[in-house]
Amino acid sequence: MNKPSREDVRKKVERLGSLPTIPPTITELLRLMDSEDISLKEIADFISQDQSLSARILKIINSPVYGFPGRISSINQSLVLIGTGALKGMLLGVSIFDIMEKTMVGLWEHSIGTAIAAKIIAAKAGIKEIEDASVAGLIHDIGKVALGVCYPELYKETLNIAKENQIYIFDAEEKILGVNHAEAGSWLARKWNFPFSLVYPIEYHHRPSMKRSSVMVSIAHIADSVIKMMDFGFSGDQFAYRIDKDSLDAVGITTKDFTDIFGEIEMAISDKESFLL
């Protein structure tokens, strides 16, 4: 199969009005959330009508991804804690669990691990928007899912090329598809009107130097790299990226801090079963 043009890939990705596993409830909810008039209570009531979606949200909100003290038992309480900006990303994350595993075995665990690492790093750095950082970590690789859905055979070839040639999946994607997952993910996030606190980490987590103004990008980059170093889940790469020093400086993390950070992450990811939705 020939390499598709960049324009064709973008059109195909942006036409993903809903990924195959996203229920109509979420598609409608994402549309409603773009309305300035809708309240948190109305959103919570809408979600509560879908028992399966409600159960998934409550499970992840009570998992180490967020680590809230005490048990969160209502959707309304969940929304108050994470806010509507992070909610969009969480809805997408809990909805694509199944398709993530079909696209790449281990990708869900990698995404969950990155979300946990991002939360811990953000807390260590004293960042207020911890929930935004966590959700950005959860969906930073959404572009892999989009490319896998749009071009299933070519994406299988991409994974094989990365493994056989011992190159990063990012580079293999550009070789086979002409675009990488960070670009594809940002197109999708923009099309769905995600806040920039989620768009930028998706788009620049491999190239944080291109978005120095966003601390969320630096956190996502560091978290992604750390989880790869810890060999938790699988992101398509056979080895970890070198952590960008300027990103560490931007977040205020020193090499000495990593002992505590690694320890906290290791404890949080120890129970893999709790991440299954």
Q: What is the pLDDT of residues 72-105, one digit of tens each?
A: 888 888 888 887 777 878 877 777 777 787 888 8
Question: 34 — phi, psi (to 5°)?
Answer: -80, -10
pLDDT of residue 20: 58
Q: Is residue 95 part of a domain?
A: no
Which residues constitute the domain of residue 141? 6-19+103-275
59-79 residues labelled b (16+ CB within 10 A) or e (exposed) = ebbbbbbbbeeeebeebbbbb
Percent of the chain having pLDDT more than 90?
A: 45
Q: Is residue 124 part of a domain?
A: yes
Judged against a pLDDT cut of 90, whether residue 156 lies above it is answered with yes
Residue 69: pLDDT band (50, 70, 90) is low
Q: Is residue 244 part of a domain?
A: yes
pLDDT of residue 22: 64
SS (H, E, C) 156-168: HHHHHHHHHHCCC
Alpha-carbon distance 156 to 191, whole Å? Answer: 25
pLDDT of residue 60: 83
Q: What is the pLDDT of residues 158-176, one digit of tens each?
A: 999 999 999 999 999 999 9
Pair 47, 84: CB distance under 8 Å: no
Q: Is residue 252 part of a domain?
A: yes
Judged against a pLDDT cut of 80, whether residue 45 lies above it is answered with yes
Domain count, the chain: 1
Q: What is the pLDDT of residues 168-199, one digit of tens each?
A: 999 999 999 999 999 999 998 898 888 898 99
- CATH number of the domain bearing residue 201: 1.10.3210.10
Q: Is residue 247 part of a domain?
A: yes
Name the residue among 227, 256, 265, 274 with its Cα closest to residue 123. Answer: 265
Pair 242, 109: CB distance under 8 Å: no
Judged against a pLDDT cut of 70, whether residue 50 lies above it is answered with yes
Q: Cβ-count burial of 15 within 10 angstroms (0-12 exposed, 13-18 middle, 19+ buried)?
A: exposed
Q: What is the pLDDT of residues 212-232, one digit of tens each?
A: 778 999 999 999 999 999 999
Q: Is residue 28 part of a domain?
A: no
Q: Is residue 233 part of a domain?
A: yes
Q: Is residue 194 part of a domain?
A: yes
How many CA atoms within 13 Å lie on the side-chain side of 1? 14
pLDDT of residue 216: 94
